[in-house]
Structure 1
Amino acid sequence: MEKIKKSHIVMVSGMLLGIAFLFYLLKLLLWRDAALILATVVAGYPIVKKAVQAVRMRAFSIELLVIIAVVGALIIGEYVESAAVTFLFLFGAYLETRTLEKTRNSLKTLMDMVPLEATVLQGGRKVILPIENIVKGDRILIQSGEKIAVDGKVVEGQGFINQATITGESVPANKKRGDTVFGGTILDNGYLEVEAEKVGDDTAFAKIIELVEEAQEAKAKTQRFLERFANVYTPGILVLSVIVFLFTQNIELTLTFLVIACPGALVISAPVSLVAGIGNGAKAGTLVKGGEVMENLAKMDVVVFDKTGTLTKGKPEVTGVKGFGMKEDQLIKLAAEVEARSEHHLGRTIVKEAKNRDMVLTNQPFNFAVKKGQGITATLDKKHVVIGNRKLLENNGTRVNNDAYSFAIQEEKYGNTVIFVGVNNQLAGIISIADQIRREARETIEHLRALGIKQTIMLTGDNKHSAKKVADQLGIDRVFAEMLPEDKVAQIKQLKAEGKRVAMVGDGINDAPAIALADVGIAMGAVGTDAAMETADVVLMGDNLAKIPYTYRLAKATVRNLKQNMFFAVGTVGLLLAGVLFGKVFLASGMLIHELSVLIVILNAIRLVRFGKRNKKRIWPINGKLAKA
């Protein structure tokens, strides 16, 4: 409503200026002056309102400078200048508002994707319900062209889903029984029945909207500095204007100096660039949580990666089972019943293996305890069960004999992660698990290096043999294996103490402390835990590491754009003030140039909205080969 009112005021004041010009041509000077004064009052009203609000809050705003100058112009009879200044200032503010809305289109586009209702299967009947009435466990029916209203698992059907709103990728993903789907995405073709797991504000899509809103409100250090600068600058200009008048005794020159000194373009130089950059990232499937994060991201020179679920797909498979005094199926069933309560990738892999073997998990674990970076302990069917690495078993009184240890070392050399299972202080068996490296992982690391990242590091709780094999395949500079969460934190602290600007990329609960400590924490949103996503500064909504180089380039472009705007704004004000003092720039013409500078700053920021589109098929040289960025 406020936007409509402002547009109406701009329109009416502009019409009054046109009428005043017509009266001038007809030599009706009295009517001309009346129209100019009325135009000044109409356009000046919202400016006076904002100035009064600022004064009540004990702040000196730009509007205050304009009002002082306009009142002075009216007193000395310069009605053309007073009308032109108020109209141009209000028109500039209107353009700024409209442009900021354009840069926020990514958020509006997201919100437009939210479905209002969904078809639910209830008692064999199809019922259309508003999305607020859908609850966890409901079975949702989706047909070709429909939007998906919930996050959930496919229980029937198959189809291709456009997940651009979540991942930024426009290529439809093939979804079948057992796959996860996200609310806000569109079923291009096919038929799906989805069991709702997250509804309403809990869906990934709702969290994206919330994160983008928060990010676009969060201010950068530069933006906060400019706001503090404006609060000092305004009273400073008032004092300088008084000095100019005392030296020149020229009220018109003083008023011109007062108006031209308004730092309008400077004050908006940071927010328009940051909002546009954050909006671009959101459209591409990367959520940057605020301007300060954008600035920090542009400065990073070391990127630290977790392994499982980050550099690897996070979809490991059981590659071998060896029992020591227990049959393979018994070992898998026992381990799966304990791991059913675990959120860890490896635990879910064991549960999946049990289901693949058509096992029914009946027993419930008690005294369940997670030992971060080591494994879990629990009581199952009156048995004390320990599942994890060798250190955890031995700390809980289970000795790993030499034969078992030699077998485990051999499995690790093949690139497997080894899970020891102990029951009542006796080794029950070893489960071998392997995870595939992400297809884009090596290219991502090469791209980052080409963009100026000085060092890449891998921190993992996995064994040193598997860790080294992955690091060698990806060309990672340094690798640290068998690390607990506190070890990862200590490593981040060490890097920061050395003066490095560190980004930490991870996806699990184990990574959350290190993500929080890093200068920039980056979470894998599609596969990551809520803890990692909430802690992180940047969330990659797609399951794609290639978003990291893109976001790094976007951050650099955003900060560069911001600096361009600042330098241009300061330079324009400096030149205009010099022109005023030398009698070359006058009130109306100076105000016109001033508002044009605001428009140029806005247009420069809008370029960020299209960042990446022209370079969408940019080719990167990697080891003599070509790859798309």
Structure 2
Amino acid sequence: MAANTLASPRLSTLFKLFKDVFKRHPEAIAAIACAILVLLGWQSLNFGWQGGGILILIAAYVIGGLDSARDGLTTLLQEKELDVDLLMIVAALGAASLGLWRQEYYLIVDGAVLILIFATSGALEGYAMQHTERSIQGLMSLTADTARLLNHGQERTVPIASLKVGDLILVKPGELVPTDGVVVEGTSILNQASITGESVPVDKTIGDEVFAGTLNGHGVLRIKLHQPPESSLIQRVIRLVQQAQTEAPPSQQFIERFERGYAKVIVIAGILLGILPPFLLGWTWEETIYRALIFLVVASPCALMASIMPTLLSGIANGARRGILFKNGAQLEQIGRVRAIAFDKTGTLTTGHLQVVNVLASQPDSPQLLQVAAALESLSEHPIGEAIVQAARQHNIAWTTASNGKAQAGQGITADLEDQSAVVGKADFVRTQVKTISTHWLEQSQQWESEGKTVVWVAQAGELLGLIAVADMVRPAAAQAIARLKQLGVEQVVMLTGDNPRTANSIAEQVGVNQVYAELLPEDKVEVIRKLQQQYQTVAMVGDGINDAPALAQATVGIAMGAAGSDVALETADIVLMGDRLERLEHAIRLGRRAQSIVKQNIVFALSFVIVLLILNFAGNITLPFGVLGHEGSTVLVTLSGLRLLIGD
């Protein structure tokens, strides 16, 4: 009794788990079940259990072919079109019927294998669709459901959808901005990396626009809505991703047209072959039906479909071993055709983390510059301050605690240090508290700023101690990776960034990018990708941030950085570079080109073999077993050919 009591919850849990998995992945479960049933049915026939084997194979037909039959009939009844799904069902049922009629049961297995191939293809398509849905959900998680509405001085929480133009909302420190608006009171620092990709948080004050989904810093902001919530930038990003991911690329449209045209030709030819030969060639009706069924079997697109999927799956496995994750086989083909590549800057070509890159002290051998800067910046949570504090720690520089610290948003910090007034910040802010400044310091500051660096001035007791330059560092392998891409024949390499032109041009010069597009919002990046597609057709986009998601979706091939990438970028992209290794792009392109070559070879072989079998069938020189053997043999050969991609480059 006790054992049964314990077993019952376990069985219930197992059933719930299976139910949940089936609900999320019904196509995959159907394909797996079909494969198991085909194997069991085949073995049953081998052992002489014809009755049981036939019943098992019938179950495989139903489970594996139900979706294809439904899709094929829907296309036929609603769109008045024939497609490969319907052709597959007809060929499979024809093989099964002929097998039962002539008691050649291996033909039933042949039809079941045909159904299994299409069931597996449907499972892969379903998996890709789930990734699309998750990317949209990830974007929507950035939007708040409610906002703090201010009405006659009273604060109350209301749904975002109820807000209207002219409403005044309150955003407290550490909160996400609920919708786009204009600051009417307060100052703060906002992290806009999710929207613009800027590595440095942006100062916001009265009159500045703020975006939904950005993170407020230390200040309290009162924001006035200047447009409806549904028109906010993050909502436009969501719509752009949805639109770009639902638009079928031209190659996909061509494949669909080819499949339907192929199905029409084969079905019409099969019908004619089943009717005309007795009148034109003097065949008996038994011979005519026999030849028509052989035709359906040998003309079914098994070998043609096997020309593609094993090759692409082998390429996907090859890439995975090298840290390149392809989310679907189509993108493995597309990456080999890429003629232009667009790179995001922050977190893609750069590390995405600010570092101290230059230090110029008035007393070169003294640690005083970093001591004072670290003492004051340790009072701040600004990323620039964190970079300076980290640099001081790396140099084992200790500092005393500052007192009476006062931060002026967007300018700098003042504090008392060892009974003396100290200041750290922008040039204009620090210069007001320094007695004299030589042109040498101004020239050096301008030089660093022209290189895209942020310059921090440091002074104490009215004397300038020096300058500290902070920047987002270029990835070590970025320049070499781009050079190798150009050697491969990539015609255009561009950079898309929300950062300022000065910083963007500096990074572009270091890594060898052909053209720079700066100060871009997410929708601007999409527009640039569209223009590149008009000129180069096949365009790849490499990015890591939420702001890159629409461009990743719009690009022919979206490529995300695996370690630094946001969840939305990873879900939206077609390819993920694990470990943020840009140099792996070269291998991905080489792999894609090799996959294209093997697929073309396989298609030519498969079609040639079908043509040979059809000619022999019309000449009356092959039997059904020979036709099945030729059909399955060609399928096996092209499958083995595709497996070549598992080895080598």
TM range (shorter): 0.5 to 0.7
Identity %: 32
The C-alpha deviation readout for 1:505-555, integer Å capped at 9, x for no partner, is 344556556545543333322234445434433221123221010111112
Q: Would you say 1:590 and 2:619 are equivalent positions? A: no
2:308 aligned partner: 270
The equivalent residue for 1:317 is 355
Tell me which residue corresponds to 2:94.
68
For residues 323 and 265 of structure 2, the distance between their equivalents in structure 1, rounded to whole angstroms, comes to 44
TM alignment of 1:453-472, pairs within 5 A: 453-459=490-496, 471=508
CA shift, 1:276, in A, is 2.6
2:454 pairs with 1:418? yes
Contact 1:311 1:437 in 2 (8 A): yes
Would you say 1:46 and 2:60 are equivalent positions? yes
Task: Give the Cα–Cα distance (whole angstroms) in 2 for the partners of residues 462 and 527 of structure 1.
Answer: 18
Q: Provide, for residues 142-171 of structure 1, a one-character-per-residue CA deviation record: whole Å limited to 9, x for no partner.
A: xxxxxxxxxxxxxxxxxxxxxxxxxxxxxx
Distance in 1, matches of 2:333 and 2:628, equals: 32
Q: Which residue does the alignment assign to 2:266?
A: 237
Aligned-residue offset at 1:389: 11
Aligned residue runs from structure 1 range 14-163, under 5 A:
14-16=46-48, 43=57, 46-47=60-61, 50=64, 54-56=68-70, 58=73, 60-72=86-98, 74-75=100-101, 78-79=102-103, 82-90=104-112
Aligned to 2:296: 258
- Residues 361 and 460 (structure 1 numbering): CA distance in 2 closer, same or farther, change over 3 Å? farther
Cα contact 1:220–1:290 (8 A) shared by 2: no
- 2: distance between equivalents of 1:288 and 1:73? 40
| 1:407 aligns with one of 435, 441, 444 | 444
Aligned to 1:28: none
> Is 2:577 aligned against 1:540?
yes
User: What letter corresponds to residue 552 of structure 1 in structure 2?
Assistant: I
Alignment match, 1:167: none
Question: Structure 1 582/285 Cα, relative in aligned 2: closer, same or farther at 3 Å?
Answer: same
Matched, 1:450 2:487: yes
CA distance in 1, matches of 2:352, 2:65: 56
- Give the partner amino acid of 1:85: L
Report the Cα offset of residue 401 of structure 1. Answer: 12
Instruction: Give the whole-Å Cα distance in 1 for the aligned partners of 2:298 and 2:537.
Output: 43
Q: Would you say the 8 A contact 2:482–2:512 is kept in 1?
A: yes
| Equivalent position of 1:21 in the other structure | none
Name the Cα RMSD after superposition. 5.1
CA distance in 1, matches of 2:523, 2:513: 22
Tell me the distance in 2 between the aligned counterparts of 1:225 and 1:388: 57
Look up the equivalent residue of 2:40 and give its one-letter code.
H
Q: Deviation of residue 593 (structure 1)?
A: 0.6
- Cα distance change, pair 361–94 in 1 and its aligned pair in 2 (3 A): farther
Residue 45 of structure 1 and its aligned partner are, at CA, apart by 5.4
Structure 1 unaligned regions, length at least 5: 17-34, 102-217, 369-375, 394-399, 613-629
Per the TM alignment, residue 71 of structure 1 is displaced from its structure 2 partner at its CA by: 2.4
Correspondence 1:10 to 2:56: no
| Greater Cα shift, 587-596 or 48-57 | 48-57
Taking a change above 3 Å as real, the CA distance of residues 442 and 407 of structure 1, as seen in their structure-2 partners, is: closer
Question: What is the CA deviation profile of residues 219-269 of structure 1, one whole-angstrom value per residue up to 9, with x for unaligned ones?
Answer: 997678656755665565344223113221322222222222221222343
Other-structure match for 1:296: 334
Structure 2 residue aligned with 1:155: none
Verify the 8 A CA contact 2:107 2:628 in the aligned structure 1: yes
1:312–1:47 distance in 2 versus 1, CA, 3 Å: closer
Structure 1: which amino acid aligns with 2:273?
V
The SS at the match of 2:468 is: strand
SS at match of 2:486: helix
In 2, Cα distance between the equivalents of 1:590 and 1:319?
Answer: 71
| Pair 1:569 & 2:591 matched | no
Report what 1:625 is aligned to. none
**2:339 touches 2:536 (CA, 8 Å); kept in 1?**
no
Paired residues of 1:287 and 1:538 also in contact (CA < 8 A): yes
- Residues 1:477 and 1:243: Cα distance change in structure 2 (over 3 Å): same
In 1, are the aligned partners of 2:370 and 2:388 still within 8 Å (CA)? no
Distance 1:542 1:315 in 2: 16
Partners of 1:87 and 1:363 in 2: how far apart?
84
Q: Which amino acid aligns with 1:599?
A: V
Cα distance, 1:432 vs structure 2: 0.1
1:575 counterpart letter in structure 2? V
**For residues 541 and 404 of structure 2, what CA distance do their matches in structure 1 show?**
38
CA distance in 2, matches of 1:245, 1:314: 67
The partner residue of 2:637 within 600, 609, 616 is: 600
Partner Cα separation in structure 2 for residue 492 and residue 328 of structure 1: 43
Which residue type is aligned with residue 540 of structure 1?
L
Aligned partner letter, 1:10: W
Task: Deviation per CA, 1:115-164: give whole Å up to 9, x if none.
Answer: xxxxxxxxxxxxxxxxxxxxxxxxxxxxxxxxxxxxxxxxxxxxxxxxxx
Give the Cα separation in 2 of the matches to 1:512 and 1:284: 24
| Structure 2 residue matching 1:498: 3-state secondary structure | helix
Q: Distance in 2 between matches of 1:430 and 1:462?
A: 23
Determine helix, strand or coil for the equivalent of 1:545.
coil
Q: Following TM superposition, by how much is the alpha carbon of 1:481 offset from its aligned partner in structure 2, in angstroms? A: 6.6
Deviations 1:587-616 (A, max 9, x none): 11011110111112221222222242xxxx
1:294 positional shift:
2.8
Q: 1:512 to 1:405 in 2, by over 3 A?
A: farther
> Structure 1 571/364 Cα, relative in aligned 2: closer, same or farther at 3 Å?
farther
Q: Is the 8 A contact 1:73 1:255 kept in 2?
A: no
CA deviation vs aligned residue, 1:261-283 (integer Å, no higher than 9, x gap): 22122234333333332232222
Whether 2:597 is the aligned partner of 1:560: answer yes
Q: Contact 1:14 / 1:87 at 8 angstroms: preserved in 2?
A: no
Match of 2:277 in 1: 248
The number of equivalent residue pairs is 449
Of stretches 227-236 and 603-612 in structure 1, the one that deviates more from structure 2 is: 227-236
In structure 1, C-alpha distance between the alignment counterparts of 2:122 and 2:404, rounded to whole Å: 57
Contact 1:315–1:436 (CA<8 Å) still a contact in 2? yes
- Structure 1 residue identity aligned to 2:355: E
Query: CA separation of 1:352/1:515 partners in 2, compared to 1, >3 Å: closer, same or farther?
Result: farther
Find the counterpart in structure 2 of residue 141 from structure 1: none
CA distance in 2, matches of 1:389, 1:585: 89
Q: In the superposition, relative to structure 1, how do residues 588 and 364 fare at CA in structure 2: closer, same or farther (>3 Å)?
A: farther
Structure 1 Cα separation of the partners of residues 404 and 562 of structure 2: 32
Residues 582, 352 of structure 1: CA spacing in aligned structure 2 closer, same or farther, 3 A cutoff? same
1:223 to 1:283, Cα distance in 2 relative to 1, 3 A: farther
How far did residue 562 of structure 1 move?
3.0
Give the structure 2 partner of residue 115 of structure 1.
none
Q: 1:100 to 1:490 in 2, by over 3 A?
A: closer
Q: Secondary structure at the match of 1:584?
A: coil
The residue that corresponds to 1:373 in the other structure is none
- Tell me, in whole angstroms, the C-alpha distance in 1 between the residues paired with 2:404 and 2:93: 77
Give the Cα separation in 2 of the matches to 1:50 and 1:97.
5
- In the superposition, the TM-score normalised over structure 2's length comes to 0.56
Shift of 1:586: 2.1
Q: Which runs of 5+ in 2 are unaligned?
A: 1-31, 75-85, 124-246, 279-287, 363-367, 416-422, 431-436
Q: Which amino acid aligns with 2:319?
A: G
The residue that corresponds to 2:229 in the other structure is: none
